[in-house]
Amino acid sequence: MPAKQPTHYAFEPKPVLDLIASIEADLQRLKGLVEQQVEKFDPANPHNKAPDGKLTEEGVECCYRLFDEGKSRYSVAQQMKISFAAATHRFNTWRKMGGAKRQRTLLG
């Protein structure tokens, strides 16, 4: 029995390349949207504090991210408009959570 010859299919690369380009453009657009959400946090954002003056979850995470960047407790206290004692408390909690290696939470 003779060896079976490979079957050759007609292949048009342009539609496949167009599809790949479209997918890449969609992924870049999606990446841009996600980066905008994650990229910036604002220590002065009013959502960082509850009406009673305590830090919200977003405020705590913002505080931790400042520590991640190497900011001092004094600097964090000033930027977050909290007391030095509150910044020290957050710093100690941040260290217990692993410091810069801790699991970050998403900011809303």
CATH architecture of 42-101: Orthogonal Bundle (1.10)
Dist. CA 103–CA 94, nearest whole Å: 10
CA distances from 46 to 21, 26, 56, 105 (A): 41, 33, 10, 18
Tell me the per-residue pLDDT of 4-45, one tens digit each, with 9 for 90 and over.
666 667 778 899 999 999 999 988 888 877 666 554 668 888
CB 61 within 8 A of CB 108: no
- pTM, to two decimals: 0.60
| Residues 72 and 90: beta-carbon distance below 8 Å | no
Q: Delimit the domains of the chain by residue range.
A: 12-41, 42-101
65-106 pLDDT tens trace: 999 999 999 999 999 999 999 999 999 999 999 988 888 776
pLDDT averaged over every residue in the chain: 85
Q: Which residue has the tokens 């050759």?
A: 8
Model pLDDT, residue 32: 77
Cα(90)–Cα(43) distance, integer angstroms? 14
